[in-house]
Structure 1
Amino acid sequence: MTNETMEIGDYLAKGGKLTSPDNVPPRYRAELLRLMSSFVDSELAGSAGFADAINHAPGIRERIAASRITLEKADHAERVLDLMEGFGTDKARYNSAHDWAARVPREATVDPKRQGGDMRLSVFHYPLAGWTDAVVMNVLMGLATCHALGEMSRSSYQPFAEVLRDILPRERRHMELGLEGLERIGATEAARASVAYWTPRVAETFGAARSDRFDRLRAMGLRHTDNETLRQAWRADLSARLAPLGLA
């Protein structure tokens, strides 16, 4: 049976790939755009939120690292937004759709579900509180991003998967820059408090342990590893990296 005659669901279930907006069915299109929007909005919000950390940096080296992270996250958003443009997204208007630097009070509780048209992950609604906090959040969320992108880089929509595979090494480097900064900060009381604050909020970004949506995405080849498996892999990875710093 050829790809042309095989039912699209069977084709995707067998590991098939789609390569163009022209051959994407409606339900698949909706789920794919939701995934891409969440990534773009999270990168834009992450970049906007981290921009303030540049002026909190204690030295030139740290200022350069923060500037690099801020710039490259915006670039990552644009790369995926270029793909969305092929589906009819108005790229020129997208950047002004939301206030990407907007944050809720630090002790507020944000529903992990997306907030209206703003598709950023819930963790990007919380504010950073100074340099140490920015470094800790960058490490925890950067590591979560590496796990999430490793998963999504296997997406059945090949152009999306290819872009994420290009982005992943830079996101990994962002996390490593954070670790280098955290090593210089050390196991201070502020660092411990920041780890305690961000850990549950980053953990929420992986989604519910049981999810009907994950089952739909897996059937379409857009996801492969369930939320809880990814979350536990992140927790183990995080503990291994923080333990030598006295912050596990």
Structure 2
Amino acid sequence: MSEEMRIEDYLAKGGVLSNPANVPPRYRAELLKLMASFVDSELAGAAGFADIINQGPGIKERIAAARIVLEKTDHADRVLRIMGEFGADTARYANHHPWTARLARDADIGATRGEHDMRLAVFNYPLTGWADAVMMNLLMGRAVGVQMADFALVSYQPLAEAFRAIAPVEARHAELAEEGVARLIAAGETETLTDSLSYWWPRVAASFGQMSSPKTESLKAMGLRHASNAELKARWEAEAGQVLGRLGLSAPA
């Protein structure tokens, strides 16, 4: 116990860890939850977007969608390899959960996780077409960017390095989505996009979790979080609102 407390004091002062053998039990449990949530969300997100590729209105759009699916799957693999160093069965992982499973479109589960995996709740909802997928990717891409800025500071060094490498690729996904929305607006799809915006905005917002979480402070002390859920959500609302403004759209009230 005294050894674990010394490690916690070290982490609370901004220290980092780099070896699974040096990780205390509570830290290990929370670190694995963080990694599993990221991996499962990337795999579920990629699986959902893969079904939309052939609905792209042109070759360039389909190439962009296929690239997003490929790169999200690669990001999941990067973090899964780190989970493997903690004993996760990486060989079985990709086929262990129903990544394409979705709820009914009118379901409303808030931030609740599913029974099968650790994906963010937003990845339990189905996409209904190309415009819907691009709008979801626009909003969630900005949410991922905000979350990645926090993840890149985690106190487990190998994971922080992986997130820092992943972050600019995920940022490009958000840029591709913005370009895609602009093309759809030019093609007269504004009404469809507005409907999708109204649908996805509250569901992406819910992905930040409870605005007042008692666990946040303990995660901050371990260096696994640096901003609260409310702070991250506020940053997303501001950034997403700016993007929508550039496109001539407005965030739902």
TM tier, smaller: over 0.9
Could you tell me which of 195, 210, 213 is aligned with 1:211?
213
Secondary structure in structure 1 of the residue aligned to 2:11: helix
The one-letter code of the counterpart of 2:16 is: K
Letter in structure 2 aligned against 1:184: R
| Aligned partners of 1:195 and 1:247 also within 8 Å | no
SS at match of 2:14: coil
What does residue 93 of structure 2 align with?
Answer: 94
Q: Which runs of 5+ in 2 are unaligned?
A: none
Structure 1: how far apart are the matches of 2:116 and 2:216?
20
Q: Say if 2:118 is the partner of 1:116.
A: no
How many pairs were matched up?
245
State the alpha-carbon separation in 1 of the partners of residues 170 and 13 from structure 2.
Answer: 30
Tell me, which stretches of 5 or more residues in structure 1 are unaligned? none
- Secondary structure of 1:64's counterpart equals helix
The answer on 1:27 being equivalent to 2:29 is no
Q: Deviations over 1:171-199 (max 9, x none)?
A: 00001000000000116110000011000
Give the corresponding residue for 1:139. 138
Query: Residue by residue, what CA displacement relative to the aligned partner does 1:101-154 show, whole Å, maximum 9, x if unpaired?
Result: 110010011241322341000000000010000000000001000000110110
Counterpart residue number, 1:155? 154
1:33-74 CA distance string (max 9 Å, x none): 000000000000000000011111000110000000000000
Structure 1 segment 52-91 matched on structure 2, within 5 A: 52-91=51-90
Contact 1:12 1:156 (C-alpha < 8 Å) held by counterparts: yes
> How many Å separate the matches in 1 of 2:88 and 2:121?
23
- Offset of 1:97 from its aligned partner? 1.4
Give the aligned residue type for 1:128: L
- Following superposition, the deviation at residue 213 of structure 1 comes to 1.6
Give the TM-score taking structure 1 as reference length: 0.96
Q: CA RMSD in A?
A: 1.3
Partner residue in 2 for 1:166: 165
- Given the superposition, is the C-alpha separation of residues 85 and 5 from structure 1 closer, same or farther in structure 2, using an over 3 Å criterion? closer
> Is this contact kept in 1: 2:151–2:163, CA < 8 A?
yes
- Matched with 1:181 is 180
Q: Which digits, 9 at most, give the CA deviation of each residue in 1:71-106, with x for residues without a partner?
A: 000000000000000000000111111110110010
Aligned to 2:197: 195
Letter of the 1:48 counterpart:
A
The residue that corresponds to 2:50 in the other structure is 51
Q: Distance in 2 between matches of 1:189 and 1:113?
A: 30
Partner of 2:233: 231
Q: Indicate the residue corresponding to 2:127 in structure 1.
A: 128
How many angstroms apart in 1 are the aligned matches of 2:55 and 2:108?
Answer: 26
The answer to whether the Cα contact below 8 Å between 2:110 and 2:206 also exists between their aligned partners in 1 is no
Deviations 1:10-43 (A, max 9, x none): 1001100000101000000000000000000000
Output the CA distance in 1 between the equivalents of 2:29 and 2:132: 36
Question: Counterpart of 1:202 in structure 2: which amino acid?
Answer: V
- With over 3 angstroms needed to count, the CA separation of the structure-2 counterparts of 1:200 and 1:229, relative to structure 1, is same
The alpha-carbon deviation at position 5 of structure 1 amounts to 10
**Relative to 1, partners in 2 of residues 1:109 and 1:83: Cα closer, same or farther, differing over 3 Å?**
same
**Take 2:103 and 2:4, find their aligned partners in 1: how far apart are those partners?**
51
The structural deviation recorded for 1:6 is 7.9
2:98 and 2:116 in contact (8 A); partners too: no
SS of match in other structure, 2:127: coil
Report the equivalent of 1:36: 35
